[in-house]
Amino acid sequence: MPEDENNKFLLNLLYNFYTTERNGNYMRDGGGAFGFDIHHALEIDYLIRNYRCDSIIETGTHFGDTTCFLAKTYPHLKIITCETYKKFYDKSKIRLSKYDNVEVVYNSSEKVIEKYLPSLHFPLIYLDAHWENYWPLQDEIKHITHGIVCVGDFNIKDKRFGFDRYNGIACDLS
């Protein structure tokens, strides 16, 4: 991408990130795309553009903050996002209905990956459906055959960054 096009894209990304409404109900960080972490958004952008991802699967829609940002920033990419909590699904379905490139699915993430992944060439797969009683991460990974995989709330062994635990198990390589 020529430098002036790249700069225009970056300005658009920053604008989309900071103007996407934050619906962080029930979230310790107040919501926002990628927990309102611009570094995280820039890292995802790097992966999408440098690995030429042609679509995005996002698990754990919640209220759609991240999905909304992705839809505005990458209108040329098909985005499939899923949610199992009916209240969150209903709200995000309405919120995201204005984006032609987004499909909001009411189903468990491992089932969505199993169904949609075979029809996608090289997606970015953002795994963020891990809270409540069922932690689908291992089941999600079993269905992934191709693409770039990112796991939200992962323990990178740096005290500056939080991570999730489920039933006493840390979200990490083990």
Give the burial string for 109-119 (b: 16+ CB within 10 Å, else e): bbbbbbebbee
Q: What is the mean pLDDT of residues 28-56?
A: 90
Tens-place pLDDT, residues 55-97: 999 998 989 999 999 999 999 999 999 999 999 999 999 999 9
Q: Which of 4-8, 16-20, 43-47, 73-77 has the lowest mean pLDDT?
A: 4-8
- Give the integer Cα–Cα distance in Å for 84 and 1: 38
Q: What is the mean pLDDT of residues 31-46?
A: 90
Position 50 pLDDT exceeds 80: yes
pLDDT recorded at residue 25: 59
8 A C-beta contact, residue 171 and residue 155:
yes
pTM of the model: 0.88
> Parallel, antiparallel, or unpaired: how do β-strands 55-59 and 102-106 relate?
unpaired
- Give the integer Cα–Cα distance in Å for 81 and 66: 10
Tokens of 136: 């689908």
Tokens of 29: 């960080």
Identify the band that residue 146 occupies on the pLDDT scale cut at 50, 70 and 90: very high
pLDDT recorded at residue 155: 54
- Give the integer Cα–Cα distance in Å for 81 and 64: 9
Q: Which residue has the tokens 């089932």?
A: 111
Edge-to-edge strands, sheet with 102-106: 102-106, 78-83, 55-59, 123-127, 148-151
Tens-place pLDDT, residues 96-137: 999 999 999 999 999 999 999 999 999 999 998 866 677 788
